[in-house]
């Protein structure tokens, strides 16, 4: 049998060794963050109001005295992953984690209490069961690995299990609150200026539509979602909640918004949604008619490696849970042509996601 390592230099061989180790233990980032949440580290630093020494941080947490000598190992890992920032005292030894101040990195602000991803413990049991069935899914005919794990479709599972459905909708709303601060800012104001009416399809509890309605008071906003989602939700002067099914009909408006919707569905299902969008905007007969799609565009050559990695993770996520996919520019374009839209433009400057304006 050939030795595939025989042509590698010792330094190349040692460097190559790190990749499988990193892949094998990649889950440690997740469990380290989960441990930080269990100990309430982000909230302790936030409550303190300024960076904390290691000793003060330990004193503020429910840590057993016997575990104090181990704690710096966790914070060192959180610093390495960019979830905490350690500012060393001037002149202190590099390896002395006790000589400095810990503060939250921007990424860790997402996991403080009520942050977009604050309830990771809820995700653990629900998410990993589906991930653990990924190998089996590749060998069977099930529509998704989630279906292999639960014998049910993801959306049906959410509708039948109120606790999971509530958890999911709350996390989507938290994510949208942070995201909308950027979307309705000056850089993207042209996307919404001149609109008279807008339907937020699959808009959940209305976080996105509320932000748009508040910023653009002349725009009549409608949130369309399934009856169990919008039941008992109260609108306002220019905001209305409508129960319905995007696969059946979308209320007429001169703009339809699809935020993180189409990546949940396969091409055939996306075509049904897009054709209903076109009927809705043509039927409105007012203003500049368009569909606004906020979703990822894969294979963007200008994206940095870290962002590409996150896009790949999310592409795997929607595959495992929904049997769907994130799309590159060619795949988006084919959908738009098949749905009989005439033109589109893409703005890639929205972090991991892009803003696509689609015209009839």
Q: Which residues are catalytic?
A: 263
Strand 290-295 vs strand 353-359: parallel, antiparallel, or unpaired?
Answer: antiparallel
Among 146, 141, 127, 124, which residue's Cα sits nearest to residue 319?
A: 146
270 phi and psi, to 5 degrees?
-65, -40
Which residues lie below 8 Å from residue 3, measured CB to CB, with a gap of 6+? none
- How many other C-beta atoms can be found within 10 angstroms of the C-beta atom of residue 212? 24
> Residue 130 in contact with residue 145, Cβ under 8 Å?
yes
Q: Distance of CA 15 to CAs 11, 23, 46, 89, 203, Å?
A: 6, 14, 39, 33, 47
Q: Distance of CA 40 to CAs 36, 61, 114, 154, 207, Å?
A: 6, 7, 12, 30, 27
How far, in whole angstroms, is CA 3 from its chain's centroid?
43
């Amino acid at each position: 049998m050939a030795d595939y390592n025989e042509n590698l230099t010792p330094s190349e061989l040692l460097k190559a060794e790190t990749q499988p180790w990193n892949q094998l233990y990649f889950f440690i980032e997740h469990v380290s963050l989960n441990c930080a949440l269990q100990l309430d580290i982000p909230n302790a630093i936030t409550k303190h109001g300024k960076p904390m020494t290691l000793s003060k941080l330990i004193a503020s947490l429910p840590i057993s005295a016997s575990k104090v000598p181990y704690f710096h190992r966790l914070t060192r890992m959180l610093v390495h992953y960019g979830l905490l920032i350690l500012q060393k005292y001037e002149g202190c030894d590099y390896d002395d984690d006790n000589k400095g101040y810990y503060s939250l990195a921007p990424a860790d602000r997402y996991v403080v209490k009520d942050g977009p991803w604050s309830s990771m413990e809820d995700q653990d049991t629900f998410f990993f069961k589906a991930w653990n069935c990924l190998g089996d899914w590749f060998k069977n005919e099930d529509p998704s690995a989630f279906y292999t794990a639960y014998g049910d479709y993801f959306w049906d599972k959410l509708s039948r299990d109120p606790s999971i459905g509530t958890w999911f909708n709350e996390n989507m709303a938290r994510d949208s609150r942070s995201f909308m601060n950027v979307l309705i800012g000056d850089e993207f104001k042209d996307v919404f200026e001149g609109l008279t009416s807008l339907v937020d399809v699959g808009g959940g509890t209305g976080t996105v539509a509320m932000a748009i309605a508040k910023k653009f008071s002349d725009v009549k906003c409608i949130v369309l979602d399934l009856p169990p989602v919008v039941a008992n939700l109260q609108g306002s002067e220019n905001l209305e909640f409508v129960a319905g099914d995007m696969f059946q009909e979308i209320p007429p408006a001169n703009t339809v918004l699809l935020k993180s919707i189409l990546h949940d569905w396969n091409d055939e299902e996306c075509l049904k949604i897009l054709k209903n969008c076109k009927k809705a905007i043509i039927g409105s007969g007012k203003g500049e008619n368009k569909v606004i799609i906020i979703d990822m565009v894969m294979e963007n050559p200008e994206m940095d490696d870290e962002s590409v990695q996150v896009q790949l993770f999310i592409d795997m996520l929607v595959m495992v849970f929904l049997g769907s996919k994130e799309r590159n520019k060619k795949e988006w374009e084919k959908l738009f042509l098949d749905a009989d839209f005439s033109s589109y433009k893409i703005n890639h400057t929205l972090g991991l996601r892009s803003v696509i304006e689609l015209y009839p």
